[in-house]
Amino acid sequence: MLKLGIIGEPLSHSLSPLLHTHVLQRMSLAGEYRAYEVPEAALAETLARFAREGGTGLNVTIPHKRAVMPLCTTLSREAQLVGAVNTLIYREGGWHGDNTDALGFRESLPGLIVDRLPGSQVLIIGAGGAARAVLAALISLKTAQVMLAVRSPEKALNILAEAERMKTAYQSPTELGLVAWEEAGHWENLDGVVNATPVGMAPDLDRSPLDWSELQSLSAGAWVYDLVYRPLHTRLLTDAMSLGLETIDGLGMLIRQGVASFERWSGYSVPEQITRELHPLLTDALLAQARPSAG
Ligand code: NAP
């Protein structure tokens, strides 16, 4: 019996219970996956109780991805490099902290884009946990140059130091650079842009981290990836689509990181067919959540 769940705050709209319940059922495995809304002060007690009750594993989401790290007895290399834990596995009397966000991002990138990364210049907007996962993924894929657009200068220094460790770990030649937030769109010849901020997320549907003219300065054939998946078609992506740029929404990463967590907990690999079924399932759930409720 796989006793699974997610801890975070708030969790009312989390898609993870739907995702994992579908995978459990399709793989005919006995188990459950529940959402546990937990404040930071109750994290240690919640993890101890979940373990006592026979818990197998947990996902960790905003705002606890860093706060759970000291509660882990071991950390995977990716969790250490990204500096965040999104997957907890209970084994040998302690919690093992792992991170599947970088892998989720890597696996959600189309193969043609991955092939071009060693000659590409990519901009990441944001300096939070998701930005660090994207940075680790791009460095591991030997991207030629990664620029970071950050709002807070103190976070910029931290993330650059972490990026140096990632380069060493992945033996990657990636060149790194920083740009001020206001200058994010003034970079010509970018081959790809990743929004790793919540800008454009519902209810702020009219907001975008790059405006129309800034998008126009991207290379012909550039791609734009928005980690936000609520809505699926953010302002950033609809603007980019209308300019003929390739766009990628955040749902693929959400699915891939979830499936990777499930594989770590269960020890089984999830067939590609089941992973593919998750896309329409979660898209319908997002559309249903976005509809104004009757009455
Ligand atoms: P986080 O740790 O809170 O970091 C958010 C980053 O965005 C910070 O650098 C923050 O700047 C910046 N930011 C926030 N509001 C901003 C604004 N109004 N203008 C400019 N910058 C702003 O959050 P996170 O975990 O990295 O998540 C970021 C986004 O990615 C969220 O929308 C999340 O839902 C999404 N995400 C998606 C996936 C997926 O699977 N698709 C996975 C993880 C996250 P400061 O540092 O200055 O505060």
What is the phi/psi pair of residue 138, to 5°? -65, -35
pLDDT given for residue 293 in this prediction: 64
Measure Cα distances from 219 to 64, 187, 211, 245 in Å: 37, 10, 15, 9
**Nearest atom, ligand 1, residue 254 CA:** 40
CB 240 within 8 A of CB 211: no
To the nearest 10 degrees (0 to 180), the angle between helices 251-266 and 272-290 is 130
**Nearest atom, ligand 1, residue 61 CA:** 25
Alpha-carbon distance of 162 to 248, in angstroms, equals: 26
Q: How far is the CA of 128 from the centre of ligand 1 (A)?
A: 6
**Nearest atom, ligand 1, residue 127 CA:** 9
Mean pLDDT by 10 residues, the chain (295 residues): 96 95 98 97 97 97 95 97 96 96 97 97 93 97 95 84 95 93 72 96 94 87 96 96 96 98 98 98 94 62
Alpha-carbon distance of 215 to 166, in angstroms, equals: 29
CA angle 68, 70, 73 (to 5 degrees): 100
| Neighbouring C-beta atoms of residue 177, cutoff 10 Å | 12
pLDDT tens for each residue of 73-114: 999 999 999 999 999 999 999 999 999 999 999 999 999 999
pLDDT given for residue 184 in this prediction: 62
C-alpha neighbours within 13 Å on the C-beta side of residue 241: 11
Ligand 1 pocket test, candidate residues 150, 227, 248, most atoms within 8 A of CB: 227
Residues in contact with ligand 1 by the CB-under-6-Å rule are 62, 101, 104, 126-131, 151-152, 155, 196-199, 201, 227-229, 250, 253-254, 257
Please name the residue whose Cα sits nearest to atom 37 of ligand 1. Answer: 227
**Nearest atom, ligand 1, residue 105 CA:** 40
Q: How far is the CA of 62 from the centre of ligand 1 (A)?
A: 10
Q: How far is the CA of 253 from the centre of ligand 1 (A)?
A: 15
pLDDT given for residue 156 in this prediction: 81
pLDDT given for residue 130 in this prediction: 94
pLDDT tens for each residue of 172-210: 999 999 887 777 666 678 999 999 999 999 999 999 999
Q: Is 39 helix (H, G, I), strand (E, B) or coil?
A: coil
From 64, 84, 140, 101, select the one nearest 253 (Cα to Cα). Answer: 101
Please name the residue whose Cα sits nearest to atom 22 of ligand 1. Answer: 197
Please name the residue whose Cα sits nearest to atom 32 of ligand 1. Answer: 198
CB 81 within 8 A of CB 136: yes
Could you say which of 3, 65, 142, 155 is catalytic?
Answer: 65
Please name the residue whose Cα sits nearest to atom 4 of ligand 1. Answer: 128
Alpha-carbon distance of 192 to 190, in angstroms, equals: 6
CB 237 within 8 A of CB 208: no
**Residues comprising the chain, all counted:** 295
65 is annotated as an active-site residue: yes
Please name the residue whose Cα sits nearest to atom 18 of ligand 1. Answer: 199
Please name the residue whose Cα sits nearest to atom 27 of ligand 1. Answer: 130
Cis peptide before 10 (omega within 30 of 0): yes
* Helix residue ranges per DSSP H, the chain: 16-26, 43-52, 77-82, 101-108, 111-116, 129-140, 153-170, 212-216, 235-242, 251-266, 272-290
Measure Cα distances from 99 to 41, 93, 102, 191 in Å: 22, 20, 7, 27
Alpha-carbon distance of 190 to 221, in angstroms, equals: 10
